[in-house]
Amino acid sequence: MKISVLKLSKLLVAISLMFFYTASLSGCGDGGSPQGVERDHDGHERHDDHHDEHEEDEGTIHLSSGEMNEFGVVIKTAGPGTLKLNIALPGEIVLNPDKVAHVAPPVPGVAREVRKSVGDKVSEGEPLAVLDSREFARGKAAFLAALAKEGLAESNSQREAKLREDAITSEKSFLEAKQAFEEERIARQLAERELHALGLNERDVATLAHQPEAEYTRYELLAPISGTVIERHLVRGEVVKEDTEAPAFIIADLTSVWVNLSVYTKDVGYVLPGAAVVIRLGEGLGNVESRIGYISPVIDEHTRTATARTVLANPDGRFRPGLFVTAHVSVGDLRVPIAVPNSAIQMIDGKPSVFIQHDENFEPVTVDLGQQDDTHTEIRSGLKAGDAYVASGGFLLKSEMLKSELEHAGHAH
């Protein structure tokens, strides 16, 4: 087992103190004084006032180069730096409304089947539910009737045209038959468009005449987009009315989401379109970088904030709508005379401090902090350019300093 020089010395000191204390208890002389304590000519005890030559001054830590490596102490020279200033804004991940579909049956009916539930993945055109609808059956019947009338009118028009060529019928009869055919053709087109509005495609309409009458009431509610079912308001046997407010299904394509950020009035002038932004999603989810794509032109009268927006690609679905986030928007760079890593700053006696190096000794100095970014902090006073300071490992030095103070306090008693 390896023991560092510092730990070994402390262990030896502790053993020595224990031995000294034990010996003092067992070796009291005639006068009741512990052995090894000298007395002056008046009988008073005399104590040595000198300190061990290796004892450290209070508030100063001594470390060798080997101990510095062991403790992970990194030394840097104080100097200028560039801070990346940013503004922290609260935000929320929301659905991309361009990729959301509210699906409701265009005809009233009774739910015969409900095939999809919340969380199910669906493809465009996939059936979500099947309804029995008399109104849908009437629409089909109206189309088939219009189709039949158009066929009869077309045949009559062709017959009148042939008779007109043979001078058997009058021009008036020919024109009347032609007009009747056009009217029936228009009526059939209108009936067909009604069916398209109800969700039937060209193939469905073309095969409608060959469909069994028992299937006339069957209406399939299809998914208009590919995505995930995030809401369902339909159960089997439910009567669906035309004036139902809630859609039967809500489908969202979650491969893209929005992040809406609340921009306070004091920050509106700094948050601009195109600004870089880091979205902090919370523990375990990490961060993601993006850019501001939109800022609302008006201030909300209730919250007194503007809305900034960024769009995130979400192929793996880890950005869940409804999740609150914090966004750090970059508003520019600031060059400062002295900047240190945030890890260099330690709170000692309630004051921000930095350990500076004098040979193998380290001493904390109180500093005045300025601007700060995610990695560095401006030092306005307390640290001069060229000073050697502890950039990393300061917390361990602080712990050693506190131990030393406790030891001094123990000796004083």
Instruction: Provide the strand spans (E) within 78-172.
Output: 81-95, 100-103, 109-114, 121-122, 127-132
**Domain finish residue from 203, 234, 251:** 251
Taking residues 71-80, report their average pLDDT: 90
Taking residues 349-354, report their average pLDDT: 92
As a whole number of angstroms, the distance between CA 197 and CA 210 comes to 21
Specify the CATH number for the domain of residue 364: 2.40.420.20
Specify the CATH number for the domain of residue 309: 2.40.30.170
pLDDT reading at 239 higher than 70: yes
As a whole number of angstroms, the distance between CA 247 and CA 103 comes to 6
Number of structural domains in the chain: 5
Tokens 């046997």 belong to 237
As a whole number of angstroms, the distance between CA 128 and CA 233 comes to 12
Domain shared by 327 and 342, yes or no: no
Domain shared by 185 and 299, yes or no: no
Domain shared by 325 and 275, yes or no: yes
Domain shared by 341 and 320, yes or no: no
Domain shared by 239 and 282, yes or no: no
Task: Specify the pLDDT at position 410.
Answer: 57
Q: Tell whether 54 is covered by a domain.
A: no
- What domain range is 395 assigned to? 61-80+337-412
Domain shared by 105 and 239, yes or no: yes
Q: Tell whether 168 is covered by a domain.
A: yes
pLDDT-above-90 percentage for the chain = 45
pLDDT in tens, 309-346: 999 999 988 899 999 999 999 888 889 999 999 999 99
Instruction: List, as one string, the DSSP characters of 38-85.
Output: EE-TTS-EE---PPPTTPPPTT-EE--HHHHHHHT-EEEE---EEEEE
Q: Tell whether 148 is covered by a domain.
A: yes
**Domain finish residue from 332, 363, 379:** 332
Give the lowest-confidence range in 91-105, 110-124, 140-154. 140-154
Task: Specify the pLDDT at position 341.
Answer: 95
As a whole number of angstroms, the distance between CA 123 and CA 114 comes to 16
Q: Tell whether 156 is covered by a domain.
A: yes
Domain shared by 342 and 299, yes or no: no
Q: Tell whether 53 is covered by a domain.
A: no
Contacting residues for 179 by C-beta, under 8 A, at least 6 apart: none
Q: Tell whether 51 is covered by a domain.
A: no
Pick from 90, 103, 169: which is nearest to 131 by CA? 103
The chain-wide mean pLDDT, for the chain, equals 82
Contacting residues for 51 by C-beta, under 8 A, at least 6 apart: none
Domain shared by 159 and 290, yes or no: no
**Domain finish residue from 332, 363, 398:** 332
Taking residues 152-168, report their average pLDDT: 84
Task: Specify the pLDDT at position 202.
Answer: 85
Q: Please report which confidence band the pLDDT of residue 29 belongs to, taking 50, 70 and 90 as the band edges.
A: very low
Q: Tell whether 206 is covered by a domain.
A: yes
Domain shared by 246 and 258, yes or no: no
Taking residues 178-186, report their average pLDDT: 90
Task: Specify the pLDDT at position 408.
Answer: 60
Greatest mean pLDDT range, 92-96, 153-157, 200-204: 92-96
pLDDT reading at 71 higher than 90: no
pLDDT reading at 64 higher than 80: no
Contacting residues for 191 by C-beta, under 8 A, at least 6 apart: 139, 142, 143, 145, 146, 147
Domain shared by 232 and 124, yes or no: yes
Q: Please report which confidence band the pLDDT of residue 60 belongs to, taking 50, 70 and 90 as the band edges.
A: confident
Q: Please report which confidence band the pLDDT of residue 170 belongs to, taking 50, 70 and 90 as the band edges.
A: confident
* Order of strands, sheet of 227-232, starting from the edge strand that comes earlier in the sequence: 100-103, 249-252, 227-232, 121-122
Q: Which two tokens stand for residue 316?
A: 């793996």
* Order of strands, sheet of 376-381, starting from the edge strand that comes earlier in the sequence: 339-341, 376-381, 368-372
Q: Provide Rg for the chain, Cα atoms.
A: 43
Domain shared by 157 and 203, yes or no: yes
Q: Please report which confidence band the pLDDT of residue 362 belongs to, taking 50, 70 and 90 as the band edges.
A: confident
Domain shared by 156 and 33, yes or no: no
- Looking at residue 34, the DSSP 8-state letter turns out to be B
As a whole number of angstroms, the distance between CA 57 and CA 38 comes to 27
Pick from 190, 195, 202, 188: which is nearest to 151 by CA? 188
Task: Specify the pLDDT at position 310.
Answer: 96
Contacting residues for 400 by C-beta, under 8 A, at least 6 apart: 61
Q: Tell whether 52 is covered by a domain.
A: no
Q: What share of the chain is helix, strand, coil (3-state, %, to 5)?
A: 30, 35, 35
pLDDT in tens, 102-126: 999 988 999 999 999 999 999 999 9
Q: At what angle are helices 134-165 and 171-197 packed, to 10 degrees?
A: 160
Q: Please report which confidence band the pLDDT of residue 250 belongs to, taking 50, 70 and 90 as the band edges.
A: very high
Q: Which two tokens stand for residue 199?
A: 């969700």
pLDDT in tens, 184-219: 999 999 998 988 888 788 888 888 878 787 788 888
| pTM of this structure | 0.62
Give the count of alpha carbons within 13 A of 89, CB side only: 33
pLDDT-above-70 percentage for the chain = 83
Angle, CA of 267, 82 and 305, to the nearest 5°: 10
